[in-house]
Chains A and B, each alone.
Chain A
Amino acid sequence: MGLATDPPALAADLPSQAAPHTAAHDDLASLKVVPARHYGRWAAAAAVLVVVAQFAHGLATNPGWDWGTFADFLTLDTIIKAVGVTLQLTLYATVLGFVLGIVLAFMRLSDNPVLQTVAWTYIWAFRSIPLIVQLLFWFNLSYLYRRLGFGVPFGPTLWSFSTNALVGAIGAAVIGLSLHEAAYSAEIVRSGVISVDGGQLEAAAALGIPRLRQLRRIVLPQAMRAILPNAANQVISLFKGTSIVSVMAIGELFYQVQVIYGRNGRVVPLLMVATVWYILLTTLLSIAQYYVERYFARGADRNPPPTPLQRARSFARDLRGAAARRTEAVQPGRLALRTQGGAE
């Protein structure tokens, strides 16, 4: 663009002995473009890099990090098992939370005022109670209800269990996390559904498509685009949030790490063990999120952008191509340089 506005000035600068005017014009296309130099950016980048380097240097040299202990514990059996418990809690609470959340979302969206009110109240209640308070309630459920049973409402009980036998610590944790998740995921699902254009449901209704299929086949896939980023946030925050259940003495990652540093006093390296596992697994979740989102974006873009892998491949291809061209074109390159020098 800049070049296009400049030609008269450039042509005037060219000494008349270099070439006739018309030739100079033709040459513009082949001239080398010198990018603008951003000195401010370079200075800012350098300053930031110095800080980063200092931090990295500290990580490597400060004995307090105690990387030896970190390495000893990172893949210890107990830790791996604890990671497994954390993943299980995340999985169960995500699945149960979203199933209940979808039900609640459609209750809130339904025309039935009773269902609407119940769903709204549920969401209100479970968003209002801090997770840790709720978990302790569930942990102490047997204080309120010694036995749980099925039977005729307000009538005789047909079948009952001791609460403690039915709901252990893990059970209480899964219930607490799921109910908490359900309130949030209900709102996430609802936000996705109301983001779908009303004309879509109308078109589906006009075509006589059955109600459930309208939701499953037409609305939900489109709602997924709005749901997924929020849902991924929610799953990741739940994944890390499972560390809260350490108050119930469940052997998940954070609890196990606390137990170990309580014994050996190496607090920082063991916190790093937990940190690295949380980061690693969150990274995997983020990558999964990218590909799931891509799947549900089909039809949304005329030309879907390439995946990072495809981009890396095409970048490598370009590099190879450029290298090949450079070796071929050494001579003409030099010539062009000399012409430019002459022009100055």
Chain B
Amino acid sequence: MSTQVMVDVHGVHKSFGPLEVLRGVDLQVRTGEVTVILGPSGSGKSTLLRSINHLEKLNRGYISIDGELIGYRRSGSRLHELKEREVLRQRTHIGFVFQNFNLFPHLTVLDNIIEAPIAALRRPRQEAVRQAERLLARVGLADKANAYPRQLSGGQQQRVAIARALALEPKVLLFDEPTSALDPELVGEVLDVIKDLARAGTTMIVVTHEIGFAREVADTVVFMDGGVIVEQGPPSELLDRPQHERTRAFLSKVL
């Protein structure tokens, strides 16, 4: 594994009004690695993930991806907030897959995938279409290009959402509970796609409750609770020999 840090989360604090959701989070994800974040609901996992592509603004700390500060520009001793246009440009390097897919229901599967490459990266349409067809084949949906999202099953929709995120060729892919909205029998097909990406060396951060998936795919498992990272380590250590009482309590409930 390469040792270069792709995602660097440093001393991150985030509050919603009086509620402090993140209370000093530090996390490093190296290029080509898969990090799985576990934790009870309300532990701040999703907020952390959403902070990484600046869907949430931080109150303190910083996040950088591939050495580039997210949401701010540093000049001397000051941080300047970036304009929306610059934040949007940074987000093209960060793929995000939502729990509820959030496909655009009025656009066909193909149009869902080519929208961002054309609008954000100004790729020629033909090139975007060819790439979309390749991606659809990769997630096993080559025959669904002209379907509308509502004509697909949940698992198929999530695979389209993954293809849509991949179309920007992001440096890192973020998954926010990608299988939580799915029927149990559809979870496997989505996890298979993510495993496939992991084997291909995609840098990923996955928030999930699928312990089996974490064990199989993760290079690092992170356990969060109460807005902090309680512990982290390789799956064999964290899942089988957790050091902290809270981790043990959580794992005993979900395993």
Measured between beta carbons, the chain B residues less than 8 angstroms from A221 are: 106
The answer, yes or no, to whether A233 is at the interface (CB within 8 Å) is no
- For chain A, residues 124 to 166, give those with C-beta under 8 angstroms from any C-beta of chain B: none
Q: What separation, in Å, do the CA atoms of A207 and B228 have in the docked complex? A: 28
Q: What separation, in Å, do the CA atoms of A197 and B106 have in the docked complex? A: 13
Number of A-B contacts (CB under 8 A): 78
Measured between beta carbons, the chain A residues less than 8 angstroms from B103 are: 203
Measured CB to CB, the closest approach of chain A to B65, in angstroms, equals 13
Q: Are A206 and B151 in contact, CB atoms less than 8 angstroms apart?
A: no
Contact of A208 among B92, B105, B108, B151 (CB under 8 A): B92
Q: Are B119 and A209 in contact, CB atoms less than 8 angstroms apart?
A: yes
Contact of A203 among B102, B108, B168 (CB under 8 A): B102
Place the interface of chain A in its size category: 20 to 34
Q: Which of B83-91, B183-191, B205-213, B229-237 faces chain A?
A: B83-91
Measured CB to CB, the closest approach of chain B to A228, in angstroms, equals 13
Measured between beta carbons, the chain A residues less than 8 angstroms from B90 are: 208
Measured CB to CB, the closest approach of chain B to A207, in angstroms, equals 4
Q: Are A202 and B55 in contact, CB atoms less than 8 angstroms apart?
A: yes
Q: What separation, in Å, do the CA atoms of A176 and B91 have in the docked complex? A: 45
Measured between beta carbons, the chain A residues less than 8 angstroms from B89 are: 208
Place the interface of chain B in its size category: 20 to 34
Q: Are B53 and A210 in contact, CB atoms less than 8 angstroms apart?
A: no
Contact of B107 among A205, A208, A210, A299 (CB under 8 A): A299
Measured between beta carbons, the chain A residues less than 8 angstroms from B151 are: 302
Chain A at the B interface: mostly helix, strand, loop or mixed? helix
The answer, yes or no, to whether B64 is at the interface (CB within 8 Å) is no
Measured CB to CB, the closest approach of chain B to A85, in angstroms, equals 38
Measured CB to CB, the closest approach of chain B to A113, in angstroms, equals 18
Q: What separation, in Å, do the CA atoms of A124 and B53 have in the docked complex? A: 39
The answer, yes or no, to whether A300 is at the interface (CB within 8 Å) is yes
Known: A199-B98, A203-B98, A203-B104. A217 touches B119 (CB 8 A): yes
Q: Are B116 and A208 in contact, CB atoms less than 8 angstroms apart?
A: yes
The answer, yes or no, to whether B223 is at the interface (CB within 8 Å) is no
The answer, yes or no, to whether B149 is at the interface (CB within 8 Å) is yes
- For chain A, residues 286 to 305, give those with C-beta under 8 angstroms from any C-beta of chain B: 296, 298-302
The answer, yes or no, to whether B82 is at the interface (CB within 8 Å) is no
Known: A205-B91, A207-B164, A210-B85. A298 touches B150 (CB 8 A): no
The answer, yes or no, to whether A211 is at the interface (CB within 8 Å) is yes
Q: What separation, in Å, do the CA atoms of A20 and B164 have in the docked complex? A: 64
Measured CB to CB, the closest approach of chain A to B248, in angstroms, equals 35
Q: What separation, in Å, do the CA atoms of A300 and B106 have in the docked complex? A: 7
Name the residue on A nearest B116 (C-beta): A207
Q: Are A298 and B106 in contact, CB atoms less than 8 angstroms apart?
A: yes
Closest 10 A/B residue pairs (Cβ): A203-B102, A207-B116, A208-B92, A299-B148, A208-B120, A206-B96, A199-B102, A208-B91, A208-B88, A299-B106
Residues of chain B whose beta carbon lies under 8 Å from any beta carbon of chain A = 53, 55, 84-85, 88-92, 94, 96, 98, 100, 102-108, 115-116, 119-120, 148-151, 164-165, 168
Residues of chain A whose beta carbon lies under 8 Å from any beta carbon of chain B = 197, 199-200, 202-211, 213, 217-218, 221-222, 296, 298-302
